[in-house]
Structure 1
Amino acid sequence: MGNDSSTDDLRLYQTAGHECGYWPDRNARDLVLDPRDPRLAAAYPQALERGFRRSGGLVYRPTCPGCRACVPGRIPVARFRPDRSPRRCLARNAQVEARIVPARRTAEPFALYRRYLAARHRDGGMDDHGTVEFDQFLVGGWSETRFLELRAPGGADGPGRLLAVAVTDRGPHALSAVYTFYGPDLPARGLGTLAILHQVQWARREGLQHLYLGYWIDGHAKMDYKRRFRPLEAFDGRRWRPFVE
């Protein structure tokens, strides 16, 4: 896998057909790196460079017959300059405090996650997630994962209200945005956008090259926001190129 000779024989599996998580009327299949291989963590950075993504303990890439709708995207953070819409989001949330903490389940993020799923994924197969699913999906077992917390201003008695959590993997050269959940009662804040902007700032502070955003899907309302972050690069199956709609 990739340029690391110690992982170039890591096995790839193709899943059976299953319902697409983005277009329910379509059939999907994925390529999955062997989840039992102890070298998975070492292979993960190269997998990101080849358009893969992590979900829980699985590192996968869609490989659906007759469909190429899922386009891997990443932000080259050194060249990113927010346009008017992201700048407004930053100004609107100027008092929001961001902090990076270990990825672990505590009562506050778990409660926020449950509220988010109830509002955004009702009857979608995730709204019954409990503590086990939270740990498997978000905390992970082998990845270098952190929670980027966005909070209302705190005071002398401690941190302010938790507004959002951006689950983020840190690699040697990049961050990967795994999943973000936030308060469903605050749509005007644009917390999903704000989380990405803070992840970009985090990557810059640590001298990392990219922020991986997962898959952009043309015409899908939940994925369309990613095209607003320019410059954006897209993986065409062989190399990363400037994103062109």
Structure 2
Amino acid sequence: MTAQFRFPRFFVTTPGPCPYLPGKIERKVFTELSGPNATELNDALGRIGFRRSQGVAYRPSCVDCQACVSVRVVAREFRPNASQRKLMRRHADLEINVCEPWTTEEQFTLLRSYLKARHPGGGMAEMDELDFADMVEQTPIRTQVVEYREPSVDGRPGKLVGACLTDNQNDGLSMVYSFFETDDEARPGLGTYLILDHIRRAAQGGLSFVYLGYWVEGSSRMQYKTRFQPLERLGPNGWQRFEAPPQQPQAGPQQALPPKLTQIV
């Protein structure tokens, strides 16, 4: 007999200051991902704009604002532009390993360096090793850590310069959280390269999309996502092609931080 599917219970976080738009208040709706149908539930919720954080799927549910929009790259139609092709050649020597979702001291050291450079004082600034382990290892679905390393020398693994916690969904890859070396002189544009590599991986694996989380209208921190075309956004009529208005060039990807969804009303 097939196990009976239980419709999930949804909760709402208490309102708090929006991390992207000054003066705005954010609120999220979320549900627990657990049981034998966790993978199927996460796939279904991902197609309607939810994201995963540990054992929870969430999406914005703000009262007076709809600026956060789910976006995904159409992987099989993506063609890199000239600057993206140059970046891919620049980092073609990196060795890429797909690992089980288990944390290492080397990963945590890279994460701390990344947070200090890109998100000082942010919500994850005080994250310790146990918090990091919870973020990576507490997953009820198919998840992996993709590591990017300098070339190995004499059989010894090279330095870890990038990593991405990635969910495997039925129709694509979801980049949950990435972190990387921020020295643009040594390895410029690593954040962009990680996205380009995920698009390549998805296309080669016969998957349709790479989910990039939320594009936030009015937030310069999120404009980098529109560089990857064709891009789709989720609206009232479903997923549709999307090109955002031109913005001032940014230093590089500055992604959303996974929320701690512990308060409900």
Match of 1:88 among 72, 86, 89: 86
CA distance in 1, matches of 2:4, 2:170: 17
Of residues 163-172 and 30-39 in structure 1, the stretch that sits farther from structure 2 once superposed is 30-39
Cα contact 2:34–2:55 (8 A) shared by 1: no
CA contact (8 A) 1:13 1:34 kept: no
Counting only pairs closer than 5 Å after superposition, residues 1-245 of structure 1 correspond to structure 2 as: 7=5, 9-35=7-33, 39-186=37-184, 189-245=188-244
Secondary structure of the 2:220 match is coil
Query: CA distance change for structure 1 residues 58 and 237 in 2, over 3 Å: closer, same or farther?
Result: farther
Amino acid at match of 1:169: D
Q: Per-residue CA shift, 1:26-66, capped at 9, x if unaligned?
A: 21111112356664332000111001111222211101111
Q: Where do 5+ consecutive residues of structure 1 fail to align?
A: none
CA distance in 1, matches of 2:236, 2:158: 43
2:256 corresponds in structure 1 to: none
CA contact (8 A) 1:57 1:137 kept: no
Residue 56 of structure 1 contacts residue 140 of structure 1 at CA under 8 Å; is this kept in 2?
yes
Task: Name the CA shift for 1:213/1:186 in 2 (closer, same or farther; >3 Å).
Answer: same
Residue 15 of structure 1 and its aligned partner are, at CA, apart by 1.9
Task: After TM superposition, give the deviation of residue 244 of structure 1 in Å.
Answer: 3.2
Distance across 2 between alignment mates of 1:212 and 1:110: 24
Q: Determine what percentage of the aligned residue pairs are the same residue.
A: 35
RMSD: 2.0
Which runs of 5 or more residues in structure 2 are unaligned?
245-265
SS of the aligned residue for 1:110 comes to: helix
Letter in 1 for 2:161: L
CA spacing shift, 1:50–1:126, aligned 2, 3 Å: same
Q: Is the 8 A contact 2:32 2:55 kept in 1?
A: no
Distance 1:104 1:24 in 2: 36
Give the TM-score, by structure 1 length. Answer: 0.91
Indicate if the aligned counterparts of 1:175 and 1:212 stay in contact, CA closer than 8 A. yes
- Do the aligned residues in 1 keep the contact of 2:21 with 2:218 (CA within 8 Å)? no
Residue type of the partner of 1:181? F
Calculate the TM-score normalised by the size of structure 2: 0.84
Tell me which amino acid in the other structure corresponds to 1:82. Answer: P
The residue type paired with residue 229 of structure 1 is F
Q: Is the 8 A contact 1:72 1:215 kept in 2?
A: yes
Q: Which amino acid in structure 2 is aligned with residue 133 of structure 1?
A: D
In structure 2, do the counterparts of structure 1 residues 137 and 176 end up closer, same or farther at CA, with 3 Å as the change threshold?
Answer: same
Superposition deviation, residue 18 in structure 1: 1.6
Q: CA deviation at 1:152?
A: 1.1
